[in-house]
């Protein structure tokens, strides 16, 4: 099992390992830690801006995928939001287990919510999507780029480098740090990254182990995240533009909220049958394209 070396990556790999042992108690598992390009970057990763066409997608997955293709590992566990689209040739996502909490959350030193922070408070984030949504909610706030794993960011908050953080809920929950959350942000307004909260189990397309691993797949989660990722593809999310997408299946229907930023966040919500994710992604992309000034969705 290939994984990054962070505490969160190891915790996520342990979740998959436990689920695999439940499927097949005879399976022998070994965790192989792989350092990725993103792990080696000491400074801030360049912001997602339309003027910077190269993608940051793949910074945390490239070396792991290469190890899979070289047959040094048999499967990889990823945060789905880190995996670029389209899929790397020769590799497939064989399972997307039931999703964790997809929301973004606030952790503030004084225990407050985003709209209640003092005038000009410093909010740390490493995401351009969160940056534009924070500025929309509170134009007076000072958004500061911040790097490092969850523990590092929380230490920087405690040290007073920032007054608050916006992070993914799922990571905090998996690390047992949920009690430190001071606000849960609604996904329809503070639209998450495509695939946020979901894990992906990746294997070689020709490997027989895919059949066993497919038992971990959760169909409603897969439909939702596939619609989100298709929306991002349609609007050019791979070109480092701030993009959000959140889909949820309820009572046989799928609802998708998509968000792009072009001068301001533009949101649209569409719904249809659970199997219509591809159509809904295209419909949402077309709708937000019509909302842009002088442009249309691809």
Active site members: 82
Q: What is the phi-psi region of residue 294: left when phi exceeds 0, alpha when psi lies from -120 to 50, beta otherwise?
A: left
Are 82 and 3 contacting, i.e. CB atoms less than 8 angstroms apart?
Answer: no
Identify the three-state secondary structure at position 198: coil
φ and ψ at residue 148, rounded to 5 degrees: 110, 165
> Strands, DSSP E only, in 52-133?
76-79, 91-95, 104-108, 122-125
Q: Please give the distance of CA 145 from its chain centroid, rounded to a whole number.
A: 17
Distance between CA atoms of 226 and 104, rounded to whole angstroms?
Answer: 19
CA distances from 219 to 101, 215, 266 (A): 16, 11, 29
From first CA to last CA, the distance across the chain in angstroms is 37
CA distances from 268 to 117, 232, 261, 274, 280 (A): 28, 13, 12, 18, 11
Residue 163: how many other CB atoms lie within 10 Å: 20
Token pair listed for 218:
């959760």
74: DSSP letter: S
φ and ψ at residue 250, rounded to 5 degrees: -140, 130
φ and ψ at residue 68, rounded to 5 degrees: -65, -50
């Amino acid at each position: 099992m290939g994984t990054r070396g962070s505490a969160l990556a190891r915790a996520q790999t342990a979740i998959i390992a436990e689920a695999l042992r439940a499927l097949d108690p005879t399976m022998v598992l070994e965790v192989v830690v792989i350092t990725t390009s993103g792990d080696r970057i000491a400074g801030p990763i360049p912001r997602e801006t339309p003027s910077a066409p190269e993608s940051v997608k793949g910074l945390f997955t490239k070396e792991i995928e290469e190890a899979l293709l070289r047959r040094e590992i048999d499967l990889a566990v990823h945060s789905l939001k880190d995996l670029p689209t389209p899929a790397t040739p020769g590799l497939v996502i064989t399972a997307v287990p039931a999703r964790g909490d997809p929301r973004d959350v606030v952790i503030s030193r004084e225990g407050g919510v985003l709209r209640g922070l003092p005038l000009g408070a410093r909010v740390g984030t490493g995401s351009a999507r969160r940056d534009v949504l924070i500025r929309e909610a509170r134009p007076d706030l000072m958004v500061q780029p911040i790097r490092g794993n969850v523990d590092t960011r929380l230490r920087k908050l405690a040290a007073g480098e920032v007054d608050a953080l916006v992070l993914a809920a799922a990571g905090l929950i998996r690390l047992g740090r949920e009690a430190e959350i001071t606000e849960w942000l609604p996904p329809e307004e503070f639209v998450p990254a495509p695939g946020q909260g979901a894990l992906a189990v990746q294997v070689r397309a020709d490997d027989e182990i895919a059949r066993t691993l497919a038992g971990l797949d959760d169909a409603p989660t897969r439909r939702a995240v596939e619609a989100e990722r298709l929306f991002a593809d349609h609007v050019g999310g791979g070109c480092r533009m701030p993009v959000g997408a959140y889909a949820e299946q309820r009572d046989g229907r799928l609802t998708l909220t998509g968000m792009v930023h072009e001068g301001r966040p533009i949101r649209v919500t569409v719904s249809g049958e659970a199997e219509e994710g591809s159509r809904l992604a295209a419909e949402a992309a077309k709708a937000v394209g019509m909302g842009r000034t002088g442009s249309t969705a691809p």
